[in-house]
Structure 1
Amino acid sequence: MKQQECKLDKEITKQVKLDYLLYLPVGYEETNREWPLILFLHGRGERGTDLSRLQQYGLPKLVEEQEDFPFIVVSPQCPLYTTWGLESDALLELLDDVSARYAVDRSRIYLTGISMGGFGTWNLATDDPTRFAAIAPICSTGPTEKVHMLKDVPVWVFHGAKDTTVPVHHAEEMVEKLKACGGNPRLTIYPDADHAGLTPVFFNMEIYDWFLQHRRKTSHFE
């Protein structure tokens, strides 16, 4: 099923209107089952009002090219004048809205993003650590002062060793701080990859298999 452009019929936090791409899995309309959901956060260069820009890489590109992907995928677009790090409330309200409209398994909501979206992944998860079953920040850093909030959340971090935009030591610092407070994160460093070189990571099905190994023991809404 191809992605559809979704325009919210209500304005949410701080009068920010987050339009988004929505992918529903093949067979969604023929079954009564609930589906796992991935929230994908793009990088700085895709901000604006043209949703088609999101399809250049990442999950929006993957689900356009792959016939069957077993997740609902929500890919919001960040307005031009802000960043994901400032829009946690808007993103959480978007998740609430999508979860109410569609057959979402709320114990299997996952989060990933790249660059600015990777920072947004760290930040959003620390703002609401009971929401997500697992997260995967890619070529980014995050709020080190809040990382202890994720000690019970499965985390898989990806980074390129030749990244000069966000040097790899930022990812290593996040991982070490999370380990120090009792977390058990994974870290994968690609020795020859720079900042732009990690977009193919989203086509590695191992990430999504790893996501599906994790489920929130208690629903966020219980």
Structure 2
Amino acid sequence: MKLSCIYRISPTNIIDHVDSNFAEFASEAGASTLAEGVIGKPFTTFIAGSELRSYFYQVFMSARCNRKVQQIPFRCDSPDMAREMLLEIVPREDRSLQIKTYLVKEWSTPHNVLLEAPSARTRARSKQESLLLCSICLRVFNANFHSWEDIQQFAARCQFFSKEGTQVPRLQRTVCEICEALGSGCQYLITESDGYPSSKDLLVFLHGAGQGTWLMRMQVPPRVIYDFDARFPRFTLVSPISTGRQWNLDDIESIIKDMVDNHGYSPNRIVLAGISVGGTAVLELVARNAFPYLGYSVVGAVPKISDAKALSNCPSIIYHGKDDQVVSYKLVESMVSAIKLQGGLSEFVPLSWGHDCWHQVYDASQKTSFWTWYRKLLEEARDSNQS
């Protein structure tokens, strides 16, 4: 990770200092004019759109009130280059903020017409052809899947990698719910499914490394949950957000405790699910046995054979790709056998994929889908309570 530039804003959000790298950073980001005369001007002068200005007011207020360093992942793509960036906001004693911008990763892309300056592209004139674009993560809202899609993936799928002047939809800038949550210091998102009848079943989903911002809405339950009809039991999905490469188990248990103590959820009606690093955290949470979980599901998780007895206390379904080059398939297979030897009700589903096999796992149309297992688990639990 490379430090790109440092600047400082006053307690009243006036830019009062920029370092020597600021001009170079602004030029590389396609905004060379920002390097001229920024000192003494309000930070929001250089922020386009009321939603984005409101977002930064919220971020700055959160940093000052909590007196904690805040990190905001964002994208800063140009037509021919994609960049993952990190904004680090450091509150100071006098309520000013030191802001550090880091370049996390960059890579070349085919020419993306969507990212051209407005004057360089031909826009569609119909309002119906406008696109919602998150100004922070550069994701386009896909109305068909109720999810946000990476702008580079969207451009490739819709063939916007082409010559200049191609007609493209209007871009309506906004801030997506994931970025808004991260900016406000929110620890998790809550989504309630449709279904019958109102209940207190809780599904806690832990995403994999890096998916807290760029991928979570694309590949996991928050997207699929919108597709359920009244035939599926109602449940509440809690999606904690992490920008790191591992989970803090104490934080997750605190979230669960809050849902139980303050929102009326039963501790024995909680199911944990996770993929990759999130799946590994699920196994560790179950082994800690802080709550009498109803069941758990993992995809591409790293198991500990020594935890087999603790992991046998509730039903589980464990998915793993046969071609996984990250986590050993044989190790996971051995873990499932060890759980069964301890009397655990564990179902093992091998998949003809690599580490990223969760697409198949959360596809509700698949017979071995997580949702088939989860529905059966909920219905059996409810039948048991009624008998």
Fold in common (TM above 0.5):
yes
Q: Secondary structure of 2:333's partner?
A: helix
Query: What is the deviation of 1:94?
Result: 0.4
Higher relative contact order (CA 8 A, sep 6+): 1
Distance 2:357 2:253 in 1: 29
Q: Is 1:59 the equivalent of 2:221?
A: yes
Corresponding residue number in structure 1 for 2:357: 197
Q: Is 1:90 the equivalent of 2:255?
A: no
Corresponding residue number in structure 2 for 1:207: 373
Corresponding residue number in structure 2 for 1:171: 332
Q: Secondary structure of 1:107's partner?
A: helix
Corresponding residue number in structure 2 for 1:219: none
Corresponding residue number in structure 2 for 1:12: none
**Residues 42/91 of structure 1: CA separation in 2 closer, same or farther (3 Å cut):** same
Distance 1:100 1:130 in 2: 12
1:154 to 315, 318, 343: 315
Query: What is the deviation of 1:198?
Result: 2.8
**Residues 110/96 of structure 1: CA separation in 2 closer, same or farther (3 Å cut):** same
Query: What is the deviation of 1:152?
Result: 2.3
How high is the sequence identity, in percent, across the aligned residues? 23
**Aligned structure 1 segments of 4 or more residues deviating by more than 6 angstroms:** 2-6
Conserved? CA contact 1:40–1:76, under 8 Å: yes
What TM-score do the two structures reach when normalised by structure 1? Answer: 0.76
Q: What's the C-alpha RMSD, in Å, of the aligned pairs?
A: 2.9
1:20 to 163, 175, 188: 188
Q: Secondary structure of 1:35's partner?
A: coil
The structure number with the bigger radius of gyration is 2
Matches within 5 A, 1:112-131: 112-128=273-289, 130-131=291-292
Q: Deviations over 1:158-186 (max 9, x none)?
A: 11111112121121121122123332311
Q: Deviations over 1:127-182 (max 9, x none)?
A: 12643111111122222222211222111111111111212112112112212333
Q: Deviations over 1:66-87 (max 9, x none)?
A: 466621000101232x512xx1
**Residues 193/106 of structure 1: CA separation in 2 closer, same or farther (3 Å cut):** same
Query: What is the deviation of 1:209?
Result: 1.7
Q: Secondary structure of 2:325's partner?
A: coil
Conserved? CA contact 2:205–2:272, under 8 Å: yes
Considering fraction of residues, name the structure with more helix. 1
Runs of 5+ unmatched residues, structure 1: 9-16, 217-222
1:76 to 231, 234, 240: 240
Corresponding residue number in structure 2 for 1:13: none
Query: What is the deviation of 1:27?
Result: 7.4
**Number of aligned pairs?**
197
Q: Deviations over 1:55-110 (max 9, x none)?
A: 01111121244466621000101232x512xx111111101112234342433110
Distance 1:162 1:123 in 2: 24
Q: Is 1:138 the equivalent of 2:299?
A: yes
Distance 1:67 1:104 in 2: 22
Corresponding residue number in structure 2 for 1:182: 343
**Residues 100/195 of structure 1: CA separation in 2 closer, same or farther (3 Å cut):** same
Look up the equivalent residue of 1:147 and give its one-letter code.
Answer: A
Distance 2:322 2:373 in 1: 19
